[in-house]
Amino acid sequence: MSVVRYERRGPVAVVTMNRPEYRNAQNSAMTYALDEAFYRAVADDEVKVIVLAGEGAHFSAGHDIGTPQRDAHQSFDRKAGLWWDHVGKEGAESRFARESEVYLGMCRRWREIPKPMIAMVQGACIAGGLMLAWVCDLIVASEDAFFSDPVVRMGIPGVEYFAHPWAMPPRIAKEFLFTGDRMPARRAYEVGMVNRVVPRDELEAQVLALAERIAAMPRMGLALAKKAVNQAEDLQGMHAGMDSVFGLHHLAHAHNAETSADSLAGMDPRSMKAAADGS
């Protein structure tokens, strides 16, 4: 079974993360399959808009930090940068190379895809899942959707693609990080992080209808409008800000590796859940 499904529906390419048994936790196999699917959609002249979806009850539980198919120690054919393979290196030399490629590098690459992308979010959208929603241009969430970045519990200042203070107002971003609490779809709408909140059973139809409306616009106009807004965000410091926070992120990983069981402060999905439930 493929970890990512690709379908064409008229002018819309629907790219679906397909590990529902693990709430679509993102391993590297999925990262590279997503990259391939997005490139396929960009190369297809009939495709005007890309929808990113998650199979099952949840959009994405984040990066794979504990399923049997966790593949953080494997080599892949790198696509996002020129850093060396992380495999066979130690410490920060390995972590920085890997996360530059599969997290920050891939997300930046996807944000620059010259066709509009819509995230179709239901259920959980946690940590690494946020990164996937945030690289999309629009986010449509169902009423049951929620968003959270609980990695401060690992002593880490947010996920690798640090869009937080651009995705929501800075003071809200601090609350989001400091508490690690779930932000319900309605609240995400109020703070401007999602475009629309719709009933769960209408999610797909509403996303496709929106995608088709956008698809009626000329390709070049859409690509330039997307680039215009992305450039404005970068002029507001997004690109440089993310680079500087990526350094803090890796300071935290290194501190954890020095002072605890591993670079994630010994946390796994179970202990993260237990810590959240106990608070």
145 vs 242, beta carbon nearer Zn ion: 242
CB of 249 to Zn ion, least distance (A): 6
CB of 256 to Zn ion, least distance (A): 10
66 vs 184, beta carbon nearer Zn ion: 66
Scan residues 69-128 and list those touching Zn ion (CB under 5 A).
99
**């390709």: which residue's tokens?**
219
Contact 13, 39 (CB under 8 A): no
35 vs 99, beta carbon nearer Zn ion: 99
DSSP label of 104: I
Nearest to 161 by CA among 138, 140, 119, 130: 130
| Total of chain residues touching Zn ion, rule CB under 5 A | 1
142 vs 161, beta carbon nearer Zn ion: 161
**51 - beta bridge partners?**
14, 118
CA distances from residue 65 to 9, 28, 51, 132, 237 in whole angstroms, order as listed: 33, 11, 26, 16, 30
65 vs 136, beta carbon nearer Zn ion: 65
Q: How far apart, in whole angstroms, are the C-alpha atoms of residue 256 and residue 265?
A: 5
Q: Is 120 left (phi over 0), alpha (psi -120 to 50) or beta?
A: beta
CB of 263 to Zn ion, least distance (A): 7
CB of 173 to Zn ion, least distance (A): 18
Q: What are phi and psi of 53, to 5 degrees?
A: -130, 165
CB of 111 to Zn ion, least distance (A): 18
Q: What is the DSSP string of 6-71?
A: EEEETTEEEEEE--GGGTT-B-HHHHHHHHHHHHHHHH-TT--EEEEEESSS-SB--B-SSSTT--
Which residue in the shown chain puts its C-beta closest to Zn ion? 99
CB of 198 to Zn ion, least distance (A): 32
DSSP label of 84: P
Q: How far apart, in whole angstroms, are the C-alpha atoms of residue 63 and residue 174?
A: 22
49 vs 127, beta carbon nearer Zn ion: 127
CB of 7 to Zn ion, least distance (A): 31
102 vs 124, beta carbon nearer Zn ion: 102
99 vs 137, beta carbon nearer Zn ion: 99
CB of 157 to Zn ion, least distance (A): 10
Q: How far apart, in whole angstroms, are the C-alpha atoms of residue 191 and residue 16?
A: 27
Give the interface with Zn ion as residue ranges (CB under 5 A): 99
